[in-house]
Amino acid sequence: MSTSEKRFSEQADLYAKYRPNYPHGLYDFIFEHLHQKKTAWDCATGSGQVANYLSDHFDRVFANDISEEQLSYAPEKENITYLNTPAEHSGLPHDTFDLITTAQAIHWLKFDEFYDEVRRTARKNALLAVIGYGMIRIPEVNPIIDELYQEAFEQYFNENRTYLDKQYQTIPFPFDEIESPDFEMTYQWSFDHLKGYFNSWSAVQKIKSEQGYNPVDKTITKLKSTFTNSKNIPVTFPFFLRLGKVHSSTNS
């Protein structure tokens, strides 16, 4: 297993169980700008969260990921085809997709190579949707969460994570961009769900394996001392989108 594959495979079950769902309004905004909804590709699909949603709206969906372990948690549907391939060399056919998505993943990809693959596989009038979400927010305890974030990501993957911190505004995006609104969702999460989400962070897994301790444990203890009478806590995520029209290599 390569280093990149290992980064996401070790906590694949946590990704599937504890990552937040994307707002329906975000999908609706993307769909409003499509010419048709026949075929979609969800790149770096992880456990298939976005692919699963797209499958209810497209005739056929392809989804790929470098982690076979992550794909093992993806939902099986007749109109979804999963591939254990890298984003930059997907093996998918030319001139195929009306929509290409990548959610909470582009900061791990090689931009130029991936964009070449987008152009190669895109159909005329296709869209690329780069989706992400920022730091979990709980107003009463944000400093506690920020402390965990800094401890985890300042040690590992800080350069990659910076793209997310800046809401993907600093990534190269050589497409005809459609101005997109920001989105926000609030969920009611238990302490177990919070713990699972924090443990799904790649940097936390790196600390556990290389330094022999889990920084999440002390964070959860602090949260419990603040919310002593709460079974569920309202947690909020900011979501953001960069949406662009793709000039495919076959139609340019």
Residues 120-138: pLDDT tens digits? 999 999 999 999 999 999 9
**Domain encompassing residue 98:** 3-245
Q: Kindly state whether residue 150 falls inside one of the protein's structural domains.
A: yes
Check residue 169 and give its pLDDT: 96
Check residue 233 and give its pLDDT: 92
In this structure, is the dihedral angle defined by the CA atoms of residues 243, 21, 46 and 208, taken in order, positive or negative?
A: positive
Check residue 3 and give its pLDDT: 44
Q: Kindly state whether residue 52 falls inside one of the protein's structural domains.
A: yes
> C-alpha angle with apex 222: 217 to 224, nearest 5 degrees?
95
Give every CB contact of residue 119 below 8 A, 6+ residues apart in sequence: 246, 247, 248, 249, 252
Q: Kindly state whether residue 250 falls inside one of the protein's structural domains.
A: no
Residue at token pair 């139609």:
251
pLDDT digits 0-9 by tens, 30-55: 999 999 999 999 999 999 999 999 99
In this structure, is the dihedral angle defined by the CA atoms of residues 153, 155, 158 and 160, taken in order, positive or negative?
A: negative
Q: In the predicted model, what is the mean pLDDT of residues 134-145?
A: 95
Check residue 14 and give its pLDDT: 87
Check residue 155 and give its pLDDT: 81
Considering only 132-141, 142-151, 158-167, which range has the smallest mean pLDDT?
158-167
Share of the chain above pLDDT 90, in %: 81
Q: Kindly state whether residue 252 falls inside one of the protein's structural domains.
A: no
The H-or-E segment that residue 163 falls in is helix 158-165
16: amino acid identity, one letter: A
Q: Is 195 a residue whose pLDDT tops 90?
A: yes
d(CA 54, CA 41): 9
Q: Is 116 a residue whose pLDDT tops 70?
A: yes
CATH number of the CATH domain containing 188: 3.40.50.150
Q: Kindly state whether residue 58 falls inside one of the protein's structural domains.
A: yes
pLDDT digits 0-9 by tens, 210-241: 999 999 999 999 999 998 887 889 999 999 99
- Count up the domains in the chain and report the number: 1
Q: Kindly state whether residue 189 falls inside one of the protein's structural domains.
A: yes
d(CA 178, CA 162): 23
Q: Is 157 a residue whose pLDDT tops 80?
A: no
Whole-model pTM? 0.91
Q: Kindly state whether residue 251 falls inside one of the protein's structural domains.
A: no
User: Where does the pLDDT of residue 160 fall: very low under 50, low under 70, confident under 90, or very high at 90 and above?
Assistant: confident
Q: Kindly state whether residue 238 falls inside one of the protein's structural domains.
A: yes
